[in-house]
Amino acid sequence: MLAAGIDVFTTLNVQHLESLNDVVGGITGIRVWETVPDTFFDAADDVILVDVPADELLARLKAGKVYVPEQIERAAGNFFRKGNLMALRELALRRTADRVEEDVQTYRTAQAIERIWKTEASVLCCVGPDPGGEHVVRSAARLANQIGVEWTAVYVETPKLQRLPSAERERILKTVKLAHELGAKTAILSGGDAATAIVEYAHTHDCSKVVVGRKQVRWTLPWVQRVARRIGESAPDVDVIEIGRGETAAATGPVSEAVMEAAPDPRRATKRLNYVWTLLACVATTLIATPLRAYFDLANIVMLFLLIVVIIAVRFGRGPAIMAAFLSVASFDFFFVEPRFSFAVHDVQYLFTFVVMLSVALIIGQMTAGLRYQARVASYREERARVLYEFARDMSSLLQTEQVLEAATKFIGSTFGAKVAILIPGENELLTTHDEELSSAIDLRGAAQWAYDKSQPAGTGTDTLPASEFLYLPLRAPMRTRGVLAIKAASQRMLLVPEQRRHLDTFAALTAIALECVHYVEVAQQALIRMESERLRNSLLAALSHDLRTPLAGLVGLAESLDLTKPELSGVQRDTAHAIVEQARRMNALVNNLLDMARIQSGEVKRNQGSAAGSRATSGRSVASPAPAVGRVRRYVDRARAI
């Protein structure tokens, strides 16, 4: 009707929504069978709530405005109890509120409205680098449960936080993982300023309450403000809630043995080498600028030093850029400002030049390093999107299970730099793997089988057998679980970062869908082969039956003609001729039965409606019996089965 351009107006009780069917059954104790999918409700252009208090509805029931009098008493004692009606009223109000909330968010997005509308409370928990983050996360979870709303936990990774030691970074990631286990949506943001990134996220996702941890410091610089205060000043429409971090020592927790025993980070050696290159670059700039002193003013030589600061910031980052700024000012003062080869300054104006030069160099270095960091983050995101696109494209073109297993194993292993194996069920639903190299290391009968049976992750980074070297992810497809993805990353952090974990979950989901598609392709091919074989068998059966009828008819005619021959046959010969005729006719009847069977299976036999109607008309006292042809066909089928 909608496709034909016809407007549809209808009413719907809340208990008839499919998603609420089990909820209503648990409340009322009565299973409602007349349900419609929620898509009909969600696709409606407008929804109007008809709200009636329980007492008023019961009064209408007693007045006969709901059911006929014969059903009033039974309804009042079963479904139409006051407690049931109040619970159903709450469900209707909540379901309508959810629908209206979706409409509000759609409108805000379409109108590009950034200001928060406090139509529904939403808690945003900020996970910081300081110890005690677990206490903040648990407090935010309790607050969200108390007010009955969804909540989100975010961690803002700034360039400064990227330089944290591995132990502290693992502690932060564990805090984010704890928030996910407590039911929060998690996200890792990137930006130069944590407060700005949090305010942006709160405005985008309409989070009206922001929970942050109170930083315990004895003193701070006058111009350094707390994150909570900066969020409150940047977003006056956001409620900022500060939570105490509890006992720091208890909140910190032990660091995993994998991190304590890890080898030294190779990036540290690279960073030290960057400072060496920075020193050499400043020396080279000084050597290049020395002969130019006779031809250019000192103001132009200053530009040369600022240029090398920008180049170092782009190439090596923030720390080397700061070092280059100080070295450039010192080199300019020592080698080019009178008196030369001394840090003493005769002209006071050069002090102002040094200050401005150092400030400009530091600002340019900081901005360039920040842009470099943002470009690197954007490139990582683009790389993840490109890899997912290529993986989905390759999976969609595969038609065999072996091809899917080989392509997925190779793709996921190269993307995450890990050892990967895909386990698929064999006989008795027991997992098997085709990777001989990892077959001895994978726990096929333990964590892997548990992950497949329970359809839940197991292994490292989970609550089930976390000591395992592998992470086992069930390959959940729309119809059933198709197997288990076993992955062993070179660094445990690759599996703890929420962004990387969601990336891996997406790979697992695409692999499961590809396996299910291949399975149903094989089922369709087998069904097609069976259909073709049945059609060929019927064709051969019909052809043989037609070919056999001609010689059988000739055999019957020849046997009957024996009685007409001269001289007459003896008694024994006559009996033999009659036996030949009887057997030939019997064979002819079997051939006719085979032809009827082939005709039935090919769909050529149809019921004679006219004969059935005629027999029904002639019978005035009972329903007509099936047509004689149908009974004959049944007898033929019974005889064929006996043969």
Does 413 have pLDDT greater than 80?
A: yes
Range with the poorest average pLDDT among 425-429, 563-567, 610-614: 610-614
Does 539 have pLDDT greater than 50?
A: yes
Render 46-115 in DSSP notation, one character per residue. Answer: --------HHHHHHHHHTTSSS-HHHHHHHHHTT--HHHHHHHHHHHHHHHHHHHHHHHHHHHHHTT--S
Q: Which pLDDT score is estimated for 259?
A: 38
What is the chain's mean pLDDT, rounded?
Answer: 76
| Average of per-residue pLDDT across 37-43 | 82
pLDDT band, residue 18 (cuts 50/70/90) = confident
Greater pLDDT, 604 or 165: 165
pLDDT band, residue 643 (cuts 50/70/90) = low
pLDDT band, residue 23 (cuts 50/70/90) = confident
Highest mean pLDDT among 4-13, 17-26, 35-44, 186-195: 4-13
pLDDT band, residue 472 (cuts 50/70/90) = confident
The residue type of 355 is: V
Q: Which pLDDT score is estimated for 641?
A: 53
| Average of per-residue pLDDT across 420-429 | 81
pLDDT digits (tens, 9 = 90+) for 97-126: 877 777 777 777 777 766 666 556 688 898
Q: Which pLDDT score is estimated for 216?
A: 64
Does 639 have pLDDT greater than 60?
A: no
| Average of per-residue pLDDT across 31-40 | 83
Sign of CA dihedral 52, 55, 58, 63: negative
| Average of per-residue pLDDT across 234-254 | 67
pLDDT band, residue 554 (cuts 50/70/90) = confident
Does 232 have pLDDT greater than 80?
A: yes
Q: Which pLDDT score is estimated for 608?
A: 65
Query: 96-128 as b/e, with b when 16 or more CB fall inside 10 Å?
Result: beebeeeeebeebeeeeeeebeeeebbbbbbbb
Q: Which pLDDT score is estimated for 113?
A: 67
Q: Which pLDDT score is estimated for 633?
A: 47
pLDDT digits (tens, 9 = 90+) for 138-150: 888 888 888 778 8
| Average of per-residue pLDDT across 503-525 | 86
194 close to 225: Cβ distance less than 8 angstroms: no
Does 521 have pLDDT greater than 60?
A: yes
The pTM for the full model equals 0.52
Q: Which pLDDT score is estimated for 428?
A: 76
Greater pLDDT, 420 or 437: 420
Q: Which pLDDT score is estimated for 425?
A: 86
Q: Which pLDDT score is estimated for 484?
A: 87
pLDDT digits (tens, 9 = 90+) for 246-296: 654 444 444 444 433 444 455 566 677 888 888 888 888 888 888 887 788
Does 137 have pLDDT greater than 60?
A: yes
Render 271-328 in DSSP notation, one character per residue. Answer: HHHHHHHHHHHHHHHHHHHHHHTTTS-HHHHHHHHHHHHHHHHHHH-HHHHHHHHHHH
Range with the poorest average pLDDT among 40-44, 249-253, 292-296, 548-552: 249-253
Q: Which pLDDT score is estimated for 254?
A: 42
| Average of per-residue pLDDT across 594-598 | 71
- Tokens 């994978």 -> residue: 442
Strands of the sheet containing 151-157, edge to edge, are: 185-190, 151-157, 123-127, 209-213, 239-243
pLDDT digits (tens, 9 = 90+) for 322-379: 888 888 888 887 888 777 777 776 767 767 777 777 787 778 777 777 777 777 777 7
| Beta carbons within 10 angstroms of residue 640's beta carbon | 13
Distance CA 129, CA 140 (A): 17
> Which percentage of the chain shows pLDDT scores above 90?
0
Q: Which pLDDT score is estimated for 465?
A: 78
CA angle centred on 128, ends 123 and 130, rounded to 5°: 140
What distance, in Å, lies between the first and last C-alpha atoms of the chain?
A: 55
Distance CA 566, CA 577 (A): 15
Does 217 have pLDDT greater than 80?
A: no
| Average of per-residue pLDDT across 306-310 | 83
470 close to 488: Cβ distance less than 8 angstroms: yes
108 CB contacts (<8 Å, ≥6 apart)?
117, 206
Q: Which pLDDT score is estimated for 615?
A: 39
Q: Which pLDDT score is estimated for 409?
A: 86
3-class SS string, 81-98: CHHHHHHHHHHHHHHHHH
pLDDT digits (tens, 9 = 90+) for 73-93: 777 777 778 888 888 888 888
Q: Which pLDDT score is estimated for 637?
A: 47
Nearest alpha-carbon partner for 537 in 591, 490, 594, 494: 594
Greater pLDDT, 33 or 641: 33
Q: Which pLDDT score is estimated for 498?
A: 67
Q: Which pLDDT score is estimated for 296?
A: 82
